[in-house]
C-alpha cells in the first residue's frame, strides 16, 4: 500500500521550463496521487501549458488566481488546498530525479515531520555525474538553534506531513517559508536529511543575481535586516522548549540592538559562546578561527 502524496507547485510566468518540471514529477517511480499547481495570475502562456498538461493527466489539479497574490500567499493557499497527508514541494524551474519520492519515503523515520534531500544547480544540462553538494553541512534532528542564523533546509527538496501545517500556518509576513517550516518541525518533532542529490535546481537569467550584483557590504546589510525580521518571529514560536526559547530571545535582543550600532561586544561574545550551534552549517578545516572571524564580521560594522 502506498502513502497518498500531494505535490504542490506554485507557478508564475514559468512557461520556459514548467513543462519539463511537471513531466519529471508525473514520471516519479513512486506514484503521486495529486499534482496541485496554483498559478499566480501569470502574464505569459504558463496557464495554457498547464491546461494542456492537465487535459492529459487527471492527477493534475489547477488553481488560477485572478489577481497576483505574491509567492507566500499563493504557496500558503496551495498547501491548504492539498488533499493528502504527505505533501512534496516543487519549484517551477527545477527537474526531479525519477526516484526522488521513493528514496525519501524509503528513508523516512516516522518520528520526522519533515524530510529533505540534497540538490544541485545546473544551467543547460543535468550533470551526468552528480556529487553531493558539500558547500554547507546539512542540518537534521530536533535542535532549531542549528538553523537560527542560516538555513540549509530547502523548500524544493522537502516532503512534509500535512499535520505540520497545523503548527506552522499562517506563515508570518516576510519570513522564508522553508526556514519557518524547518524551525517548526524541529520544535515539534524531527527534521531528517537524505544525502542524495534528487533535485536539479535550474539556474537561469531570472533567478540568478547579475554579475554586477550588490557588494559584500550590501549583502551583509540585507542579511542583517532579513535575520532581524526572522528572529522576531522565531522567538515567539509556541512549541520551543524553555532553553531554546531563551536562546532565541537573547539572540534577537542582541541582534536587534546591533541594528542601531556599529559595535556590539555582547553580540560578539554570544555568537562565540554558541558558535557550535550558530555555525553548524559551516564546513571549514580551522573551525574555531572561522567562527570567531564570522562573529566579528557580524558584530562589528567597520
Among residues 164, 202, 162, 209, the alpha carbon closest in space to that of 183 is found at 164
136 CB-near residues (< 8 Å, 6+ apart)? 150, 152, 281, 282, 283
My answer on whether 230 and 186 are in the same domain is no
Domain residues for the domain of 78 are 5-202
* CA separation for the pair 92, 75 (Å, rounded): 12
Among residues 172, 165, 220, 216, the alpha carbon closest in space to that of 188 is found at 165
Among residues 7, 182, 223, the alpha carbon closest in space to that of 96 is found at 7
* CA separation for the pair 217, 195 (Å, rounded): 33
My answer on whether 61 and 192 are in the same domain is yes
- Tally of structural domains, the chain: 2
My answer on whether 185 and 236 are in the same domain is no
My answer on whether 239 and 137 are in the same domain is no
Residues facing residue 62 across a β-bridge: 37
Three-class secondary structure of residue 199 per DSSP: strand
CATH number assigned to the domain comprising residue 150: 3.90.550.10
User: What is the pTM for the complete model shown?
Assistant: 0.92
Sheet holding 191-202, edge to edge: 60-64, 34-39, 5-11, 86-90, 158-161, 114-122, 191-202, 95-96
246: enclosing H helix or E strand:
helix 242-258
pLDDT (tens, 9 = 90+) of the chain, 302 residues, equals: 578 999 999 999 999 999 999 999 999 999 999 999 999 999 999 999 999 999 999 999 999 999 999 999 999 999 999 999 999 999 999 999 999 999 999 999 999 999 999 999 888 787 777 777 777 899 999 999 999 999 999 999 999 999 999 999 999 999 999 999 999 999 999 999 999 999 999 987 665 433 456 777 788 788 899 999 999 999 999 999 999 999 999 999 999 999 988 888 999 999 999 999 999 998 765 567 777 877 877 777 65
Q: Look at residue 209 and tell me if it is in a domain.
A: no
Specify the DSSP class assigned to residue 141: B
Amino acid at each position: 500500500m502506498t502513502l497518498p502524496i500531494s505535490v504542490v507547485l506554485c507557478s508564475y510566468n514559468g512557461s520556459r521550463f514548467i513543462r519539463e518540471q511537471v513531466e519529471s514529477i508525473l514520471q516519479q517511480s513512486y506514484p503521486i496521487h495529486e499534482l496541485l499547481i496554483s498559478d499566480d495570475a501569470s502574464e505569459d502562456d504558463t496557464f495554457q501549458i498547464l491546461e494542456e498538461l492537465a487535459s492529459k493527466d487527471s492527477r493534475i489539479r489547477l488553481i488560477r488566481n485572478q489577481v497576483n497574490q505574491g509567492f507566500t500567499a499563493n504557496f500558503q493557499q496551495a498547501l491548504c488546498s492539498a488533499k493528502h497527508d504527505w505533501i512534496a514541494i516543487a519549484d517551477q524551474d527545477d527537474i526531479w530525479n525519477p526516484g526522488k519520492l521513493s528514496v525519501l519515503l524509503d528513508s523516512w523515520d516516522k518520528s520526522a515531520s519533515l524530510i529533505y534531500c540534497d540538490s544541485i544547480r545546473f544551467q543547460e544540462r543535468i550533470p551526468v555525474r552528480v556529487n553531493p553538494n558539500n558547500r554547507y553541512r546539512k542540518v537534521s534532528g530536533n535542535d532549531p538553534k542549528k538553523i537560527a542564523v542560516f538555513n540549509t533546509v530547502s523548500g524544493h527538496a522537502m516532503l512534509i506531513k500535512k499535520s505540520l501545517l497545523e503548527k506552522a500556518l499562517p506563515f508570518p509576513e516576510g519570513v522564508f517559508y522553508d526556514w519557518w517550516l524547518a524551525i517548526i518541525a524541529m520544535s515539534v518533532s524531527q527534521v531528517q536529511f537524505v544525502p542524495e542529490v534528487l533535485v536539479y535546481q535550474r539556474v537561469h537569467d531570472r533567478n540568478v543575481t547579475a554579475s554586477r550584483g550588490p557588494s559584500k557590504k550590501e549583502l551583509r546589510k540585507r542579511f542583517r535586516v532579513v535575520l532581524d525580521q526572522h528572529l522576531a518571529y522565531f522567538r515567539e514560536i509556541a512549541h520551543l522548549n524553555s532553553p531554546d526559547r531563551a536562546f532565541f530571545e537573547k539572540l534577537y535582543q542582541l541582534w536587534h540592538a546591533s541594528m542601531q550600532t556599529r559595535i556590539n561586544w555582547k553580540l560578539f561574545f554570544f555568537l562565540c559562546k554558541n558558535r557550535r550551534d550558530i555555525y553548524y552549517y559551516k564546513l571549514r578545516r580551522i573551525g574555531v578561527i572561522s567562527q570567531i572571524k564570522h562573529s566579528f564580521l557580524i558584530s562589528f560594522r567597520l
